[in-house]
Chains A and B, each alone.
Chain A
């Protein structure tokens, strides 16, 4: 880990105040000289995960490049809420061209800077899951394949939020969207085969691929710093909850982002040159229901009777991630907690035994319920 880890479980939180850290270890966002690249006053919704993610990504990249950064942006919420004419929230040179071309525009900027001998100025491209995984995918893959000197960041909120919450190829199974409504059948997206953008990025064998969530912002900052130490095509996929599109409370954005990792639904890892180099372990394994229940897009799964089969399918996917990425922590990695679930301490590669999982969940829920502040 490139930064000092903090474990203050007794405080009921994974995040410690920067005041406890060595000044050199403080987060970018805690520094007086942070660049506020996406400055306040923009029009994102309350609790917007994308605004939070973009702020941390860009400030971290600005610090890593000494403020010599150019950003390209796909069409989408981030572009719309940050630039309603005549206002702009961007405190760095920033260009929006189209929905599907942000990676290629970034390629062009990088080429221009190279031709001009400005190797000190770096380029970052950004887009949502639609602009990255769907309409911009060809441009993204081309940029990867050529190994252009661009860091591309996908802020994944799992649907087309800017146009009114339509399904994208990043929309998870069973999630209700504006075009997966309960018309002529059950609501919710179908169980497809999925489109795992970070793994596809890795298949290009680019220097750096990472995933992150807005629950672990120091981790996100560190990954951006790591990416900016490298040259060539780099990709960071950030999980960003969308209160509006997911039907979740604004105050639950961080909580949901934490649960998506702790359930195993979203593996948080790093890869270099196509090989996984580090995995962020699950410290308190949580059943997927805890994640799903906070979001109205899954409310149809918890009716009377609940759709236990669908929930089991989602759990199976999470379990598969846990096995494939080795997401369970050993005791010496912080996996053993007061009252922790047996399955966590066990850390077997096939830790998806339903009976054991169910028992573990009960223990965990008891633990969480005993905290006066809930799971936070």
Chain B
């Protein structure tokens, strides 16, 4: 059914259609609307049977999800930013135990300085946690990916994160098509756990494993993610057959045929990127885009194939691997091993800084002229940074960076331009 709906609410409805039996969550912006709506659905009996646990931390949220999933319940939670970091120990445990929990990440920056706005620092920090990571471009895709996520998770017995941009998607109202219960029931079979805590057939889950077998258990996690490279496209095909629209998958190319320049990105920024590409294509510039939908497992072959004929690649990413540059570009470069083409990393949009069409136009034109450096920071206010660096070089206690910079911005903003 087509509805004008907030992204969070649309995702909550999609999750409810998947009939989760346990939801455990702790509030953190911008994830709150998702779990608040699920709480309403449980309290009104529209989602039943389902236990909604209001736990005391994200660490407890993931821990309760581990217990629920191990007891054979379809389990959901959602978090973001600091919350994701606070549950990290349990995150690795959930994937290590092979528990098919589904979790929404409402992508948000990580402090300090504390910041509630969107970038991908949170989920990217967990790229090696053993969770499958899917990135949604639109609210429709976020909704659809959740329905697919439960099936992927349960078929392969691994947890799945569905990442959607905080505020940009979670709080945006868009037209979405919310499927009906019958169609979702037909697409998503009942959860048949690979392992379950059952008094009728007692098992020990989470035993201590030494050097004689740890390696193999760990490798299995990798082997399963590699299997997911086949499973994810299969689930996407089934989804399209059942619901009549493409959503998810591993990668998606946009106007990349004959493109000399290809922009690689994840998430909602692709909407702006594609608008700019359309404008440049109209002006005859051979430029296209590659959307990464699955970041873990990373589709090396698909990325390599999609980029093989280009002459340059611009990786636009909303996170910063401090001390080296880009997380996504390092992965893309692995896919391009042995292929000689110009590669540029562009770090953009940290802490919710707008990524505008104007800036992207300028950036892509610079890229085409090969004027970019290997690592670039889109719309970084370098004069502010230099002023603060100068202050710290003066030796005396120079005070907190964020306070100094905010004061400088006030001064700069009040100066006539």
Contact = CB atoms under 8 A, between A and B. Distances in A.
Interface of A: 67-70, 72-73, 79-80, 83-86, 88, 90-98, 100-101, 104-117, 121, 138-139, 141-142, 145-146
B207 interface: yes
A86 B209 CA distance: 8
A100 B59 contact: yes
Contacts of B51: 111-112, 114-115
A95 B22 contact: no
B207 A105 contact: no
Interface string B7-33: 000000000000001101000000000
A104 B206 contact: no
A115 B49 contact: yes
Given A104-B55, A108-B53, A112-B21, A96 B207 contact: yes
B208 A85 contact: yes
A112 B202 contact: no
10 contacts: A67-B199, A84-B210, A90-B204, A93-B203, A97-B206, A107-B53, A108-B22, A108-B71, A112-B75, A114-B51
B202, B209, B213 interface centre (most CB from chain A within 10 Å): B202
Contacts of A91: 202
Given A86-B207, A98-B89, A117-B49, 12 more contacts: A70-B71, A79-B208, A83-B206, A85-B208, A93-B197, A97-B206, A108-B63, A108-B69, A115-B21, A139-B57, A142-B60, A146-B54
B56 A115 contact: no
Interface residues of B, number: 44
**Smallest CB-CB A-B distances: 4 pairs:** A108-B67, A142-B56, A101-B63, A112-B73
B208 A97 contact: no
Nearest to B101: A108
B72 A116 contact: yes
A292 to B, nearest CB: 34
B204 A105 contact: no
B348 interface: no
Interface of B: 21-22, 24, 49-51, 53-57, 59-60, 63-73, 75, 89-90, 93, 97, 197-199, 201-210, 212-213
Q: Is the interface of A mostly helix, strand, loop or mixed?
A: mixed
Contact of B90 (A98, A107, A114): A98
B212 A85 contact: yes
B70 A90 contact: no
Given A92-B199, A97-B93, A111-B22, A141 B56 contact: yes
Contact of B71 (A97, A98, A113): A113
A88 B205 CA distance: 10
Contact of A109 (B54, B57, B68, B90): B68
B213 A97 contact: no
B209 A85 contact: yes
A96 B207 CA distance: 7
Contacts of B97: 97
Q: Which of A73, A97, A141 is the most central at the interface, judged by chain B CB atoms within 10 Å of its CB?
A: A97
Contacts of B212: 85
Contacts of A67: 199
Contacts of A117: 49
Given A97-B93, A115-B49, A142-B57, A109 B207 contact: no
Contacts of B22: 108, 111-112, 115
A101 B59 contact: yes
Given A108-B68, A112-B51, A138 B208 contact: no
B67 A145 contact: no
A114 B21 CA distance: 9
B70 A109 contact: yes
B56 A83 contact: no
A193 B212 CA distance: 45
B83 to A, nearest CB: 14
Task: From B75, B89, B204, B213, name the one whose CB has the most chain A CB atoms within 10 angstroms.
Answer: B204
Contacts of B65: 108
